[in-house]
Amino acid sequence: MTFDIIVLGDLYEDLYYESNFYEEHAKLLASKIFNFIKYTPDDLNKNILEKIIFKGFSDRSIQNNRHCYFKRGGNGSNISEIFTLSGIPTKLVSIIRREGEWMVEELAKIGVDTTNIIRSKEILPIRIIVTSNNSTNIILKPNSPNKWVFNETTFEDYEFQRSKLIFCASLSNAYIEILDRASKLGLLTAFSVEDQNFDFYEKFGKILNSRHDILFLNINDASVMLEEELFVEQIDKKYSDYAKIRVFISRKKDTVIKTDKLNLHFPSHVEENEIDYLSSKECFQGGFLIKFLELIDSKDLLNELLINENIENLKGLIVKCEEFAVHLTNFKNFYKYFPNRKDLEKFIMNFKK
């Protein structure tokens, strides 16, 4: 079977707790700090403040009298679903713990190819999320892919040759070999980097052997990885050697899309809430790549568009990719689920009226 897109990414069991934990702790900590300042203001310093906050969290355990439930999550899971619902044949490469077979069954029902999902014999952690009326926060994020390496035994060359694009939803040591190999075999290659998963800058040049086609990077994550606050132009200078098209996403600032000849700015459409932000980012990445694959379906065509005389044509195509990505993101933010292609096209038509 032909798979237009191969996704390398996370597949998590998300355990959601509905709890007012953060609100109650905020009140408790505010009270402790207020009382300390009120009675002993001259003694307050950074070390004392850290002790007050630590004691505030230690004094109260996380108790939940509300609903809790499991959901399938992870960037690989979500982006595979986005592609498949849009009508693009998609294969997911990931790893799950032994008890996670129900997630594979869910993805298979949607139409995602799951034949390259590894079942680990180890006990892998789940992702724990606390949600309330005011916030949703990830308490524990597993980082299992860095323990594994998917190498030449994961795929035969013919499996790559039946595909057009490979997307690594969160670059880690586990996926680099597959990504480089796909590039050498002529696939369009795209990847996203997150600060908690990869020592991006220090190891990047030593490990990646190809200049890939598209890089997605969150501006805040880049600052964490580089351990300094930088402007997009400064960040791009450090990473332009690793991708022909660089897409910089931010929660508050503009989305910036750069090539060696283009510098495009668009209003940001990602959400502030952590879970909604991650979902918005995945929708934007998925939407961008869906339209990109429709308009630029080969590495040769992309390379042709990148030359000077064709750069204005490439600019118009990138603008279309960004617009489609924004529409998909807005649909998810409004309706709280991933759309199929028919529902999304209807949404876009209504928006344009």
Most confident of 18-27, 64-73, 151-160, 277-286: 277-286
CA–CA distance, 121 with 98 (Å, rounded to integer): 6
Same domain, 39 and 188: no
Does the residue 137 lie in any domain? no
What is the pLDDT at residue 234? 85
Does the residue 135 lie in any domain? no
**To which H or E segment does residue 188 belong?**
strand 188-193
Displacement of CA 45 from its chain's centroid (Å): 38
Same domain, 30 and 102: no
- pLDDT tens for each residue of 216-238: 988 776 655 555 566 888 889 88
Does the residue 314 lie in any domain? yes
**To which H or E segment does residue 96 belong?**
strand 90-96
Same domain, 333 and 220: yes
- Nearest in space to 187 (alpha carbons), one of 214, 221, 169, 150: 214
Question: 336, 273 in Cβ contact below 8 A?
Answer: no
Same domain, 75 and 39: no
Over residues 276-291, the mean pLDDT reads: 89
Does the residue 132 lie in any domain? no
Same domain, 47 and 104: no
Confidence of residue 132 (pLDDT cuts 50, 70, 90): confident
Does the residue 131 lie in any domain? no
Same domain, 36 and 153: no
**To which H or E segment does residue 189 belong?**
strand 188-193
Does the residue 139 lie in any domain? no
Q: In 3-state terms, what secondary structure has residue 37?
A: helix
Query: Domain range spanning residue 253?
Result: 5-11+71-124+145-352
Tell me the pTM. Answer: 0.86
Same domain, 244 and 315: yes
Over residues 35-62, the mean pLDDT reads: 77
For the chain, percent of residues with pLDDT exceeding 90: 42
What is the pLDDT at residue 260? 95
Over residues 139-146, the mean pLDDT reads: 62
Same domain, 46 and 98: no
- Nearest in space to 10 (alpha carbons), one of 97, 132, 99: 97
- pLDDT tens for each residue of 298-323: 999 999 999 999 999 999 999 999 99
Q: Count up the domains in the chain and report the number.
A: 2
Same domain, 111 and 43: no
Helices (H), the chain: 21-39, 46-58, 75-85, 101-110, 157-161, 176-184, 200-207, 219-226, 232-239, 274-295, 299-305, 311-335, 341-352
CATH number of 207's domain: 3.40.1190.20
Lowest mean pLDDT: which of 10-14, 145-149, 179-183, 267-271? 145-149
Those residues with Cβ within 8 angstroms of residue 260's Cβ, 6 or more apart along the chain or in another chain = 240, 244, 306
Tokens at residue 128, please?
Answer: 């724990």
Strand 113-119 relative to strand 165-168, pairing: unpaired
Same domain, 298 and 338: yes
What is the pLDDT at residue 305? 97
Same domain, 335 and 209: yes
Same domain, 81 and 37: no
